[in-house]
Amino acid sequence: MKKNILKRGLLFLLGTCVILGFSGCAGTGDTADSSAAPSSAASAKLSGNISLTGSTSMEKMVNALAEGFMEANTGVKVNAEFVGSSAGIEALVAGNCDIGNASRELKDSEKSSGAVENIMAIDGIAMVVNKANTVTDLTKDQLIGIYTGTIKNWSEVGGNDTAIVVVGREAGSGTRGAFEEILGIEDKCSYANELDSTGAAMAKVASTEGAIAYVSLDILDDTVTAVTLDGVEATPENIKAGNYFLSRPFVMATKGEISAQSELVQAFFDYVESAEGQKIIEDVGLILPN
């Protein structure tokens, strides 16, 4: 009898845990807001708000930098919004934010209206194929042809008679966004596989003879072959020199030179240029411009 009561008690506890778990899940999905509000008991002399607006592709980098900066300067609050490159620069020019983020070079019209291009990082994408594939180089047009479905066999680009298996990432992936944007084939790609991680894409290419995939530069290894594009190898050096076309700059634009900005914004750029900031940029898989 006593044993039974114990058992029931345990069951009850379990039940309670389950319910608590559910109500935990039932809370809304926005956990991102919780990084705000640092403790006010700070020794930092800097205080105030910095606002950044712009590219969705830069979200990972900007959030990491903002977190690091707020940790180092507890009196500062960094507000970052991700609305797209053009909207970001527009907001900057209109004076609605301190820094406008763009994942592309600034247009002349944007520069002439006062935006200054500060390239803080470079995003590079590598094209990988199976080790058995004899194709080692692709041109931009060939790449576009393969991903839009007009080129279907490796023999059409100088390889064996093997059908091409087009591997890509899921909608919403930053790498996919960058790839399609740089090649100008947004929403025109016909994927045979849409995998939800870089690792899965690499594994698929490694195990499938006719496969090709785009992956971020930092995870290349010898299970696959990285092809050269227009004869240029995907190395940080080539990307910095601007010879490798599958890359794009991450611009943190300011209205006027950095030296003309407020003390707070200058401190933010100092932080980004510091060893700590540079490490954060490299940790999110990007290349440093200098």
Partner 1 sequence: MMNTRKNTSIIRNSQTKALVETIAQIIFTVCAVVAVLAVFSITLYMFLQGTPAFAQVGIREILFHSVWAPTAQTPSYGILYIILTSIIGTAAAVLIGVPIGVLTAVFLAEVAPRKLAAFVRPAIDLLAGIPSVIYGLLGIMILNPLMYRLEQIIFADSETHQFTGGANLISAVLVLVIMILPTVINISQSSLQAVQKDLKDASYGLGASQIQTIFRVQIPAAKSGIISAVVLGVGRAIGEAMAISLVSGSSVNFPLPFNSVRFLTTAIVSEMGYAADTHRMVLFSIGLVLFVFIMLINTLLTKILKGAPQDA
First to last CA, the chain: 75
Q: Is 28 exposed, middle or buried (0-12, 13-18, 19+ CB in 10 A)?
A: exposed
| 156 is an interface residue for partner 1 by CB under 8 A | no
**Residue 124, beta-bridge partner list:** 247
| 196 is an interface residue for partner 1 by CB under 8 A | yes
Name the segment binding partner 1 (CB under 8 A); options: 17-25, 109-117, 218-226, 269-277: 17-25
**Nearest-CA neighbor of 244 among 109, 130, 91, 126?**
126
Comparison of 52 and 195: residue with beta carbon closer to partner 1: 195
Please state the closest distance from residue 58 (CB atom) to partner 1, in A: 13
Interface positions, 57-86, toward partner 1 (CB under 8 A) = none
74 φ, ψ (degrees, to nearest 5): -70, -15
196, 67, 39, 263: CA torsion to nearest 10: -160
Residue with tokens 């490159």: 85
- In total, the chain counts a number of residues equal to 290
| 6 is an interface residue for partner 1 by CB under 8 A | no
Query: Among 191, 228, 230, 276, which residue sits at the site for partner 1 (rule: CB under 8 A)?
Result: 191
Q: Are 83 and 130 in contact (CB under 8 A)?
A: no
Comparison of 132 and 260: residue with beta carbon closer to partner 1: 132
Provide the residue type at 58 as one letter.
M
| 199 is an interface residue for partner 1 by CB under 8 A | no
Please state the closest distance from residue 54 (CB atom) to partner 1, in A: 15
| 1 is an interface residue for partner 1 by CB under 8 A | yes
The residues binding partner 1 (CB under 8 A) are 1, 5, 8-9, 11-12, 15-16, 18-19, 22-23, 26, 29, 56, 149, 152, 163-167, 170-174, 177, 186-187, 190-196, 200, 203-204, 207-211
